[in-house]
Amino acid sequence: MTLDHLLKSVRISDITGDIAVEVGAIRFDSRLVQPGDVFVAVRGAQVDGHAFIDKAIEKGAAAIVFEQMPDAAIAEGRGSTFVRVEDSAETLGQMAANYYGNPSKELQLVGVTGTNGKTTVVTLLWQLFTRLGHTCGLIGTIENRVGNETVTSTHTTPDSVQLHELLRRMADAGCSHVFMEVSSHAVHQRRIAGAFFKGGVFTNLTHDHLDYHVTFAAYRDAKKKFFDDMSATAFALTNIDDRNGMVMLQNTLAARHTYGLKKPADFKSRILENNLDGLFMELDGAHLHARMIGEFNAYNLTAAYAVARLLDCEKMETLTALSDLTGAEGRFDYLKHPSKPGCIGIVDYAHTPDALEKVLETIGKLRKKGARIITVAGAGGDRDKTKRPLMAQVCARFSDQIILTSDNPRTENPAAILRDMETGLDADGLKKTLVIQDREQAIKTAVRMAGASDVILIAGKGHEKYQDIMGVKYPFDDKETLKKFFYEYAESA
């Protein structure tokens, strides 16, 4: 493949050398460069690829794509073609799209962004369209799917080369629709560059990822850029009940649509009943009995329905299929205690103040009179520290008993993380709080404390099957741990 084919439609500032040079793979990690490859120097959050141009040349890179001109000493006499561009990360995505034959244009690609609900909406859409007879792809936090084949997921949104490779695999496998989580990091780092979206969905915006974006405004604007970059042939669907919902669509060229439960919307729903048997809703003028629980899932179901209708699915077929869907693993997953009537345990990925509040509010509405809420929660290390005391405050406001415990401490001291959380508690909050650093012991204690009809919430990790401690991922599954202690205490009773 020639460099001029790869650079098709890319904004180029300067070229030194023969643009028609034959190249192999596209690389942005100098350690992987092979003779004949093109190396793209991308500026990352911690590492600048421009610092490794010399190494890429030494390894035989046929071409170097960069923003800042390297030393003349590097550029002279090494046999590489140098291409200067305005934005290396954007260029990398465009080149990857060209390299893989622009697969997103062969698919109905829909991106879902927002603080909470991305995984559930994407999973619902994959389940829904599969039931409606389509072969679908899914790109998300829990997993990637090519039809019914599962592909390991390492990030909410893969890097741009992996993304276009995956989209090509999906197109070649006969997928007609692909539903994809779009994180704020991915938008800011241009991981979705070169992808053509048929539609975009905004779920909500709350406090998260300020360790990366620093300010809430920057976080909001990263989400908004996803819609800013959409074409006039796409649709943009927003949650009108969220205070930032219409902000997302201010500058988009896409056709604008809204969904919601409270304000007038293009796709309006209303909760008629909400209990542990599921949701009974009025959706777009029709009745829907869904297996999912809680107001937040009413929003997720409404968003999925709206996307289906915007992609020309028949109304009653869509509602019928939607009524039997279960959503994503680790999102309001619940187990019934085998020997304590009415006692249930809920495992949820909630790891932000807003997500915790939504889950706990739902539990508060569903619990039986006199039942207690016992919340087991922690906060991740090497992430936004400002949300830690806020999470503890939410737990205190909605719970009868709190057990603060380790989540994924990563490279931080778990005891220090827990101290950060405790700073958010007043005297009354501290009175009903236990701190048990060992997560397994924390869950065991919660099960031991729970009585008939009590509800245990284990928050923060959801679908994850590990704990990340000092760079090592140790096996750990909240749901399996809960199940183990449920049956252990049932047998000893």
pLDDT at 207: 59
Residue 457 has a pLDDT of 97
Are residues 148 and 67 part of one domain? no
* Residue 140 belongs to some domain of the structure: yes
Residues 263 and 370 in one domain: no
Same domain as 400, residue 313? no
Average pLDDT value for residue range 53-70: 89
Supply the pLDDT for residue 211.
Answer: 52
Specify the number of domains making up the chain: 3
Looking at residue 74, its pLDDT comes to: 60
Flag whether 212 is in a domain.
Answer: yes
The answer as to whether 462 is a domain residue is: yes
Residues 94 and 114 in one domain: no
Whether residue 231 is predicted with pLDDT greater than 80 in this model: the reply is yes
Which one of 292, 322, 352 terminates a domain? 322
327 located within any domain: no
pLDDT tens, position by position, 118-143? 999 999 999 999 999 999 999 998 88
Alpha helices in 8-81 (DSSP H): 53-58, 72-75
Q: Residue 88's pLDDT is what?
A: 95
Q: Average pLDDT of the chain?
A: 92
The angle at the Cα of 442, spanning 438 to 444, to the nearest 5 degrees, equals 120
CATH of the domain at 346: 3.90.190.20
Residue 317 has pLDDT above 90, yes or no: yes
Residues 170 and 301 in one domain: yes
Average pLDDT over residues 405-414: 97
292 and 350 both lie in a single domain = no
Judge whether 252 lies within some domain.
yes
352 and 476: one domain?
A: yes
- Model confidence at 11, pLDDT cuts 50, 70, 90, reads confident
On the question of pLDDT at 365 being above 70, the answer is yes
pLDDT digits (tens, 9 = 90+) for 426-436: 999 999 999 99
CATH number at residue 299: 3.40.1190.10
Assign residue 21 the CATH number of its domain. 3.40.1390.10
- Which residue carries 């968003």 as its tokens? 303
Judgement on whether residues 218 and 93 belong to the same structural domain of the protein = no
Query: Which of 57, 76, 98 is at the close of a domain?
Result: 98
Average pLDDT estimate for 449-463: 95
The domain in which residue 122 lies consists of 102-322
Q: Which tens digit of pLDDT belongs to each residue from 13-47?
A: 888 888 888 999 999 999 999 999 999 999 987 78
Strand partners, 39: 27, 64
pLDDT over threshold 80, residue 78 = no
pLDDT in tens, 199-216: 999 999 985 545 555 587
121 shares its domain with 46: no
Residue 224 and residue 205: Cα distance in Å, rounded?
A: 11
Cβ pair 231, 140 in contact under 8 A? no
Long-range contacts of 146-152 (CB under 8 A, 24+ apart): 146/170, 146/173, 146/175, 147/173, 147/174, 147/175, 149/173
Task: Out of 288, 322, 356, pick the residue that ends a domain.
Answer: 322
438's CB contacts (< 8 A; 6+ apart) are 405, 406
Nearest-10 crossing angle of helices 295-310, 353-366: 110
Residues 144 and 251 in one domain: yes
Same domain, 206 and 355: no
In a domain, 328, yes or no: no
Q: CA 218, 224, 226, 231 torsion: positive or negative?
A: negative
Q: Quickly list H helices, 132-256.
A: 160-172, 184-188, 210-213, 216-228
Same domain, 316 and 461: no
